[in-house]
Copies of this chain bind each other. A is one copy, B any other.
Amino acid sequence: MAEFDTVIRNAVVATAADVFEADLGIADGVVAALGRGLGPARREIDAAGRYVLPGGIDTHCHFDQPMRDAVTLADDFLSGTVSAAHGGTTTVMPFACQLQGQSVRAAVEDYHRRAGRKPVIDYGFHLIVSDPTDTVLREELPALIREGYTSFKIYMTYETLKLSDRQIISVLALARHEGAMVMVHAENSDCIAWLTAELERQGKIAPYFHAVSRPQAVEREGTHRAITMSEIVDAPILLVHVSSADAVEQIRWAHGRGLKILAETCPQYLVLTAEHLQAPGFEGAKYICSPPPRDAASQHAIWQGLASGVFHVVSSDHAAFRFEDPEGKQRHGVQASFTKVPNGLPGVETRLPLLFSEGVSKGRIDLRRFVALTATNAARVYGLYPKKGTVAVGSDADLVIWDKDREVVVTNELLHHNCDYTPYEGMAVRGWPAMVLSRGDIVVEEDKLLAEPGRGEFLRCGPPARLA
């Protein structure tokens, strides 16, 4: 048996299926052995009393993505990955976003430049397909899939991103043929536009009306339509950031018919509601994201869905805009209509702590489901498995040593993103990363970053793997 570079002793290791006590030996950046009394090794870590989990995989986060209207995302590939790492995440999959008229390859190249030598953890790219020309569908995407870009995100809303149904079906057909996964942002664009116009006509422009302009029915419709197109083409889809009881109902319905519908939700839909958008003054703008947080009944439906298999992935949808910033939430000032406020929340660092605290610590889900939702399923769905997403012999030693008893009050000071606020300010959580390893390297230890920019490697993704 090979020597180990590192041995983690006395671990309670958790996978998506199992929780067991073992020592864990790491060699050449991968898990080389699980056993008892392993060692010795050059470096030994005592994990007594802590969980050893697969590092989180955040498959929905936006870094350094140019926005229209001179608005700027707060985080690039450095601050974004540093923040992720501090939250226990060891792999991120941000987006390479095709612009109208741009080739997808050009977008990919652009985002590789943006990533540059910044990431401190490993990363892959989803491709946002906003202009699926024949060339894109017939040449670029098949080639890019072979090169390791095996997931696309498509939008049913947002003027410069949204696809027509015909385009969506074409992308789905391509994905099915070539073996890629399609993520869908499902909201009915025209309904939102009409409601928005009505609200503005009535002078209802405060941040809260963002939520009114995108009611559950709008998400439900997009969800049903996306499911239908998936059914017609027989191509699986993953519905991103599902927020509402109505959408959950549609997904359950699809599962009952045997359709291959995967679903993601995010912490903001588990702990926030539309009431947060009613905060005094312009404060509500901090919570503007799409879909908007809903109500207690939707939170309940989503928690039930996490426990009962409706959902497969919990991601952050990190899209941070600074609040006190003319390139951020206040681009058009604090009197501006909600339509002028950039959509998105920070969350890449708080994802695991929030889900662990509200889910595992409060008994809504168990530890194994937590692992599945934060790491394993995403790795499978996006073709990173078994390199990433689990604690198993041969997998990358991407690990988070989790202090399940640490109590933390979330404040923005505590966090490492480049945003000037967190929507979870003041929230008490139980459970926090104690140490984070990436390919055997300690990248965070007791809240200190030990990694250099650029150590993160680009991941070529394989074909999507099934979940059951």
Interface residues of A in 248-282 (CB under 8 A from B): 249, 252, 255-258
C-alpha spacing A365/B255, complex, angstroms: 14
Among B20, B189, B190, B366, point to the contact of A395 (Cβ < 8 A).
Answer: B20
12 contacts between A and B (CB under 8 A): A2-B36, A15-B17, A15-B18, A17-B17, A17-B368, A18-B392, A33-B33, A34-B35, A36-B393, A168-B190, A252-B252, A366-B467
A173 / chain B contacts, CB cutoff of 8 Å: 194
Binds B, one of A83-91, A223-231, A401-409, A431-439: A223-231
A247 vs chain B, min Cβ distance (A): 12
Residues of A within 8 A of B (CB): 1-2, 13, 15-22, 25, 32-39, 164-166, 168-170, 173, 188-191, 193-195, 215, 217-218, 220-221, 224-225, 228-229, 231-232, 249, 252, 255-258, 300, 304, 307-309, 365-366, 368-369, 371-372, 376, 386, 390, 392-395, 466-468
Complex CA–CA separation, A257 to B246 (angstroms): 11
- Residues in chain B near residue A386, CB distance under 8 A: 18-20
Asked if B258 contacts A307 (CB within 8 A), the reply is yes
Number of copies of this chain that the complex holds: 4
Contact (Cβ within 8 A) B166 A390: no
Residues of B within 8 A of A33 (CB): 33-36, 38
Are B221 and A368 in contact, CB atoms less than 8 angstroms apart? no
14 additional A-B pairs beyond A217-B231, A308-B309, beta carbons within 8 Å, are: A1-B37, A2-B37, A15-B17, A17-B18, A17-B371, A18-B390, A32-B35, A33-B34, A165-B191, A166-B190, A170-B194, A188-B225, A252-B255, A256-B304
Chain B residues positioned under 8 Å from A37 (CB to CB): 1-2
Q: How far, in angstroms, from A13 to B395 measured CA to CA in the complex?
A: 13
CB of B20 within 8 A of CB of A17, answer no
List the B side residues contacting A232 at CB < 8 Å: 191, 194-195, 215, 217-218
The smallest beta-carbon distance between A133 and chain B, in angstroms, is 16
Q: Which of B164, B191, B193 contacts A228 (CB 8 A)?
A: B191
Asked whether B2 lies within 8 Å of A468 as measured between CB atoms, the reply is no
Closest to A198 in B: B173
**A439 to chain B: closest CB distance in Å?**
17
Q: What is the chain B residue whose CB lies nearest that of A2?
A: B37
Contacts of A308 in B (CB 8 A): 255-256, 258, 309, 468
Name the residue in A18, A22, A229, A371 with the highest tally of chain B Cβ atoms < 10 Å from its Cβ. Answer: A18
Known: A228-B221, A468-B308. A164 touches B191 (CB 8 A): no
CB A158 to nearest CB in B, in angstroms, measures 15
Q: Which residues of B contact A249 (CB under 8 A)?
A: 256
The minimal Cβ–Cβ distance linking A92 to chain B, given in whole angstroms, is 22
What is the CA–CA distance of A366 and B117 in the complex, to the nearest angstrom?
Answer: 39
Report yes or no: A468 in contact with B307, Cβ–Cβ below 8 A. yes
Closest chain B residue, CB of each to CB of A363: B466
A34 and B33 CA atoms in complex are apart in Å by: 5
Q: Closest chain B residue to A1 by CB distance?
A: B37
Would you give the shortest CB distance from A310 to chain B, in whole angstroms?
9
Closest B residue by C-beta to A188:
B165
Q: Select one of B1, B164, B307 contacting A35, CB under 8 A.
A: B1
- Asked whether B35 lies within 8 Å of A25 as measured between CB atoms, the reply is yes
> Across chains A and B, which 7 residue pairs bring their CB atoms closest together, nearest first?
A33-B35, A17-B17, A165-B190, A309-B309, A16-B17, A22-B393, A166-B190
* B residues near A307, Cβ cutoff 8 Å: 258, 468
Residues of B within 8 A of A258 (CB): 300, 304, 307-308
Task: Give the nearest-CB partner of A466 in chain B.
Answer: B366
Complexed CA–CA distance, A171 and B256 (Å): 31
A223 to chain B, nearest CB (A): 10
State in angstroms the CA–CA spacing of A366 and B467 once bound together: 8
The answer for the CA separation of A385 and B230 in the assembled complex, in Å, is 38
Cα distance A81–B249 when bound, in Å? 44
> Is the pair A166, B193 in contact by a Cβ cutoff of 8 Å?
yes
- Interfacial chain B residues near A257, Cβ < 8 Å: 304
Cα of A255 to Cα of B252 in the assembled complex, Å? 9
Most buried by B among A164, A365, A466: A466
The interface residues of chain B lying within 8 Å CB-to-CB of A13 are 393
